[in-house]
């Protein structure tokens, strides 16, 4: 069957999860890591032994939030502060938006093809684990902000 839009495959997701787990091991923290496709649908998830149960939902929602708004969750968090253009966005989508760092887009040939979410450690650790996942398929530079061209003004 021919795909109509570019998206992550299960093979991509497995590579991403493996790399993310290796990064999590460097922190000696059990992680929850989610990968979603271009439509924001879960295609792969890992809950490491002893990972926090409360982080399961956070990891998945970080990935979905990234795909819903085409933004890194840490960048979205900055836009969601009082007085900023997206204040209150975390209450949208039935409260399913997570604006803690650890959600990153996956871009191929200029198209967002999915996202990853990681949850268990500090914001910085979550971002590092998610970045390891993205780097495993070598698609996005670590300093990319993705779509920061003013779309964040729209609600």
> Which residues contact residue 112 at a Cβ distance below 8 angstroms, ignoring those fewer than 6 apart?
38, 67, 70, 105, 106, 146
Evaluate if residue 63 carries a pLDDT over 50: yes
Alpha helices in the chain (DSSP H): 10-27, 54-69, 73-79, 123-136
Mean pLDDT of 104-130: 96
Contact in structure between 66 and 89 (CB atoms under 8 Å): no
3-state SS assignment for residue 91: helix
pLDDT digits (tens, 9 = 90+) for 15-49: 999 999 999 999 999 999 999 999 999 999 999 99
For residues 37 and 88, give the distance between their C-alpha atoms in angstroms, rounded to a whole number. Answer: 26
Mean pLDDT of 83-96: 94
- Burial of 56 by CB count in 10 Å (0-12 exposed, 13-18 middle, 19+ buried)? middle
Domain ranges of the chain: 10-139
Evaluate if residue 64 carries a pLDDT over 80: yes
Q: Which CATH architecture has domain 10-139?
A: 2-Layer Sandwich (3.30)
Output the CA–CA distances (angstroms, integers) from residue 147 to 60, 140, 154, in the order listed. 21, 13, 12
pTM of the model: 0.87
Residue-level pLDDT at 110: 87
Q: pLDDT averaged over the chain?
A: 90
Mean pLDDT of 117-132: 98
Mean pLDDT of 78-92: 95
């Amino acid at each position: 069957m021919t795909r109509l839009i570019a998206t992550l495959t299960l093979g991509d997701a497995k590579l991403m999860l493996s790399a993310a787990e290796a990064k999590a091991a460097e922190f000696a923290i059990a992680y929850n890591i989610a990968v979603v496709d271009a439509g924001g649908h879960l295609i792969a998830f890992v809950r490491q032994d002893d990972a926090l149960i409360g982080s399961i939902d956070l990891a998945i929602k970080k990935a979905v939030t990234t795909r819903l708004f085409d933004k890194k969750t840490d960048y979205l968090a900055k836009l969601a502060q009082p007085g900023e253009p997206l204040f209150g966005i975390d209450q949208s989508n039935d409260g399913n938006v997570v604006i803690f760092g650890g959600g990153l887009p996956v871009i191929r040939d200029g198209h967002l093809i999915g996202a990853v979410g990681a949850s268990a450690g500090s914001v910085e650790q979550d971002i590092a684990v998610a970045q390891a996942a993205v780097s495993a398929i070598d698609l996005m530079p670590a300093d990319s902000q993705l779509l920061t061209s003013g779309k964040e003004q729209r609600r």
